[in-house]
Each structure stands twice: as structure tokens, then as C-alpha cells.
């Protein structure tokens, strides 16, 4: 497989917004990823399929198509609002299949999002993103990685538990769409020997199973 991880760029925003809408449809509107990219505390990564390039006009057409109806009307209505900027940057030619974000505060790295296109799920991409975020958190000299996950999201919880995230507390009514509780999960010290040993085992198993090369995250 030819999947690679790199930092998110402005030109990825249209595809990332598409994936966000597919994965978190109830949490409308999506974050303004263009603005997120300018935030020095957040770090976004994408996974792309090197064998697939996107025909630029098609991406443009599909992102414009997704902006018809209610979104387009609201965009026109709030042309200077905080969610949308007026111009999307030219779309990326890479086919983006997943993305994830990390918010770094002192010695804590908080996972803001992680999502894989539906058509690419259960192929090790979510795991690739999580491994990359942990590596980014280590580079940023943080000590722990935390996140919130819906009580009903058993799939994501299974992924995080595999990487030794454990439940720390419950945030009652955290999600505004349906007032669902969030489970706050955290790692132990990511630089500790037991955490690193477990991580190495998982990385090797991931490589054996999926053959995805875990190279350095490029720009
Ligand atoms: C959660 C998500 C990112 C996982 O991505 P993915 O690429 O399908 O995951 P992977 O193929 O890398 O699977 C890794 C591990 O996750 C867990 N997992 C993934 N899909 C699962 C499923 N349907 N049921 C149970 N466990 C699952 C397993 O532990 C799996 O390891 P295994 O292969 O050894 O069983 C993906 O389902 C997604 O985008 N969901 C919507 C967005 C979301 O809920 N994000 C999390 C917000 S907190």
C-alpha cells in the first residue's frame, strides 16, 4: 500500500472538511480548518494515497457541490462569519483518506479529531494516524496524550484502548448535539519504558499486517 502521512496544508482543507462532514455529521458546522492551520497550538496531519491523484476540477466541483443548499446559503448570509472564509484554497492533488489533529498545551497533547474516509476504514489507517499523533506528541516534548470520546463510540474506544489509553473521567452532557457524555481518556507518560515498549510492539505488528511504511511526518 502506498499511504503516507504529512502535515495538513491549506490545499487539503476541502477534502478534510468533506471527511469531517462524513465522520462527524451531527457536529455541524465543521471547524474552520483554514483558521486551525494558523493556530500555533494545533498540529494537523493527513494520510494520503500516493497511487491516487485527484483531478483538480473534480475536487473543486465536489467541494462546491457540497456547499450547495443550506451551507451555501449560510455562507452567503455570514460571509464574514467565524466558520467559513470566503475563498477555499486551490484543492490538493493528493487523495486525502484520513486526518487527525493534536492540540499541544504545556506537557499535554490533546487529540482534537481523528477520522478516516468510510471507504478506507478497517485497513489500518486510523492506527497509522494514532501512531503518528503519538510520535508528534513526543516530538513536541509532551508527557501525556488525552482525548474525549463519545460513550457510544465503541469503535474509537477499542482503538484507543489498544494503545493503552485508559478512562480518566466522564464529562456529563459534553456533546451539544445530543447531550451525550464524553469519556476522557489518557495515556500514561508516553516517554516511559512500558509505554514505549508496547508502542514498538504495536508499530511492528501494524507494519507486518498492513505493510505501511511509518516514515517521518513530512511537510
Ligand atoms: C475510529 C476510526 C478513526 C478508526 O479508523 P480505521 O482506519 O477504521 O481503524 P483501523 O483499521 O486502523 O483499526 C485499528 C483498531 O481500531 C479498532 N477498530 C477499528 N474499527 C473497529 C470496529 N468497526 N469495531 C471494533 N474495533 C474497531 C480495532 O482495535 C482495530 O485494531 P485491530 O485491527 O487489531 O482489530 C474510524 O472508524 C472513523 O473515522 N470513525 C469516525 C470518526 C470517529 O469516530 N473518530 C473518533 C472520534 S473520538
Show the 3-state SS of the chain.
Answer: CCEEEEECCHHHHHHHHHHHHHHCCCCCCCCCHHHHHHCCCEEEEEEEEEEEECCHHHHHHHHHHCCCHHHHHHHHHCCCCCCCCCCCCCCCCEEEEEEEEEEEECCEEEEEEEEECHHHCCCCHHHHHHHHHHHHHHHCCCCEEEEEEECCCHHHHHHHHHCCCEEEEEECCCCCCCCCCEEEEECCCCCCHHHHHHHHHHHHHHHHHHCCCCCCCEC
Condensed to tens digits (0 to 9), the pLDDT of residues 98-110 reads 999 999 999 999 9
Please confirm, yes or no, whether 160 is among the known catalytic residues.
yes
Residue 31, pLDDT > 50, answer: yes
Q: Determine the average pLDDT of the residues in 201-210.
A: 95
Please confirm, yes or no, whether 108 is among the known catalytic residues.
no
Separation of CA 78 and ligand 1 centre (Å)? 36
Mean pLDDT across 85-113: 85
Query: What is the C-alpha separation between 36 and 55, in angstroms, rounded?
Result: 26
- Average pLDDT over all residues of the chain: 86
Q: Sorting pLDDT into bands at 50, 70 and 90, what band is 51? A: confident
Residues near ligand 1 with C-beta < 6 Å? 23, 114-116, 121-127, 149, 153, 155-156, 158-159, 162
pLDDT band for position 81 (cuts 50, 70, 90): very low
Q: Is the pLDDT of residue 46 over 70?
A: yes
Ranges 1-5, 96-100, 170-174, 195-199: which has the least confidence: 1-5
pLDDT band at residue 168 under the 50/70/90 scheme:
very high
Residues β-bridged to residue 145 = 109
Indicate the top mutation candidate among 19, 49, 112, 155 to test ligand 1's pocket, ranked by most ligand atoms within 8 A of CB.
Answer: 155
Q: Which atom of ligand 1 is the closest one to the Cα of 117?
A: 39
Amino acid at each position: 500500500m502506498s499511504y503516507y502521512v504529512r502535515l495538513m496544508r491549506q490545499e487539503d482543507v476541502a477534502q478534510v472538511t468533506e471527511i469531517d462532514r462524513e465522520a462527524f455529521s451531527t457536529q455541524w458546522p465543521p471547524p474552520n480548518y483554514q483558521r486551525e492551520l494558523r493556530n500555533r497550538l494545533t498540529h494537523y496531519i493527513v494520510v494520503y494515497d500516493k497511487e491516487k491523484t485527484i483531478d483538480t476540477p473534480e475536487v473543486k466541483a465536489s467541494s462546491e457541490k457540497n456547499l450547495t443548499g443550506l451551507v451555501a446559503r449560510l455562507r452567503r448570509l455570514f460571509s464574514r462569519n467565524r466558520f467559513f472564509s470566503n475563498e477555499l484554497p486551490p484543492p490538493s492533488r493528493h487523495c486525502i483518506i484520513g486526518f487527525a489533529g493534536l492540540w499541544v498545551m504545556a506537557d499535554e497533547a490533546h487529540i482534537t479529531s481523528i477520522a478516516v474516509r468510510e471507504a478506507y476504514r478497517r485497513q489500518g489507517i486510523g492506527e497509522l494516524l494514532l501512531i503518528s499523533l503519538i510520535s508528534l506528541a513526543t516530538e513536541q516534548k509532551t508527557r501525556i496524550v488525552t482525548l474525549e470520546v463519545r460513550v457510544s463510540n465503541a469503535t474509537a474506544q477499542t482503538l484507543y484502548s489498544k494503545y493503552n489509553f485508559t478512562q480518566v473521567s466522564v464529562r456529563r452532557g459534553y456533546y451539544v448535539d445530543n447531550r451525550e457524555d464524553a469519556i476522557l481518556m489518557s495515556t500514561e507518560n508516553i516517554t516511559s519504558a512500558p509505554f514505549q515498549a508496547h508502542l514498538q510492539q504495536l508499530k511492528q505488528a501494524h507494519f507486518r499486517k498492513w505493510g505501511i511504511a511509518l516514515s517521518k511526518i513530512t511537510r
